[in-house]
């Protein structure tokens, strides 16, 4: 589902929730039982050698290595060297990206589970982020760690630091307006917020 493409009416219909009241306690409990707690699923992290091996065992890389070997057998050593240089560059770039992703995931797991303000039955409640469930209406303000990936309904000068995901050093200004394009990079989805990022200004 491309949540960033939906307008507010479509969004609320998809999540079967109400912007002004949020979920009822009974419905929130039912969804929590159905979907489980709002937390990252623990999985074994990859070590450096495994990440590196995966880069060199990718299909495209294997094809390039085979092409380099054939070139070398035909005496075309310059071509073979050029192809191997591309292989090494490709593998190093992939290794760098995956290593950063693994570190970001590890950092997310170490974050203290924050308390979050959420609308339940028309009342603002403060509860553990683990108790959030799809359809909850979350209230964000400066200093909050975003407790879950979410789609914005409204904002007031909201800025969020997303460097851990996008590498951008500046906080990103958020806007709830639906976006037309599908498959946008995370950094361009200005109407979305992501778990573990930090609200630096405004509210939403």
Beta bridge partners of 193: 150
Contact 121, 137 (CB under 8 A): no
Which residues, 6 or more positions from 83, have their beta carbon under 8 angstroms from its beta carbon?
A: 64, 65, 67, 68, 71
**Is residue 47 scored above 80 in pLDDT?**
no
Greater confidence (64 vs 151) lies with 151
Please give the pLDDT value at position 164.
77
Strands in 137-139's sheet, in edge-to-edge order, are 123-128, 115-120, 137-139
Instruction: Return the axis-axis angle of helices 59-73 and 48-56, rounded to nearest 10°.
Output: 60
Confidence of residue 150 (pLDDT cuts 50, 70, 90): very high
Main-chain phi, psi angles of 103, to 5 degrees: -65, -40
Contact 151, 3 (CB under 8 A): yes
pLDDT digits (tens, 9 = 90+) for 158-176: 999 988 777 777 898 999 9
- Classified by CATH at the fold level, domain 3-37+113-203 comes out as 2.70.150
Please give the pLDDT value at position 12.
93
pLDDT digits (tens, 9 = 90+) for 100-141: 777 776 666 655 567 899 999 999 999 988 899 999 999 999
- The whole-angstrom separation of Cα 197 and Cα 189 is 14
Per domain, the residue ranges of the chain are 3-37+113-203, 48-110
Q: Two tokens at 41?
A: 């699923």
Looking at the chain, the whole-number percentage of residues with pLDDT higher than 70 is 92
Please give the pLDDT value at position 41.
65
What pTM, to 2 d.p., does this model score? 0.65
pLDDT digits (tens, 9 = 90+) for 9-46: 999 999 999 999 999 999 999 999 999 998 766 555 56
- The whole-angstrom separation of Cα 128 and Cα 131 is 6
pLDDT digits (tens, 9 = 90+) for 130-141: 899 999 999 999
- The whole-angstrom separation of Cα 101 and Cα 93 is 12
pLDDT digits (tens, 9 = 90+) for 57-75: 778 888 888 888 888 888 8
């Amino acid at each position: 589902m491309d949540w960033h493409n939906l307008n507010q009416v479509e969004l609320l219909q998809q999540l079967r929730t109400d912007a002004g009241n949020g979920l009822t306690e009974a419905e929130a409990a039912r969804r929590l039982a159905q979907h489980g707690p709002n937390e990252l699923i623990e999985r074994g992290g990859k070590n450096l050698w495994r990440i590196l091996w995966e880069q060199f065992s990718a299909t495209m890389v294997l094809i390039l290595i085979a092409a380099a070997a054939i070139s070398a057998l035909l005496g075309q050593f310059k071509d073979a060297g050029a192809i191997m240089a591309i292989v090494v560059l490709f593998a190093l770039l992939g290794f760098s990206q995956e290593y950063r992703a693994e570190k970001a995931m590890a950092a997310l797991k170490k974050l203290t589970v924050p308390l979050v303000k959420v609308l339940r039955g028309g009342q603002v409640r403060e509860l553990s982020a683990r108790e959030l469930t799809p359809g909850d209406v979350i209230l964000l303000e400066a200093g909050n760690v975003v407790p879950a990936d979410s789609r914005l309904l409204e904002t007031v000068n909201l800025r969020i630091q997303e460097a851990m995901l996008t590498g951008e050093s500046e906080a990103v200004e958020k806007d709830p307006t639906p976006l037309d394009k599908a498959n946008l990079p995370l950094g361009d989805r200005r109407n979305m917020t992501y778990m573990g990022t930090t609200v630096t200004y405004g509210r939403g």
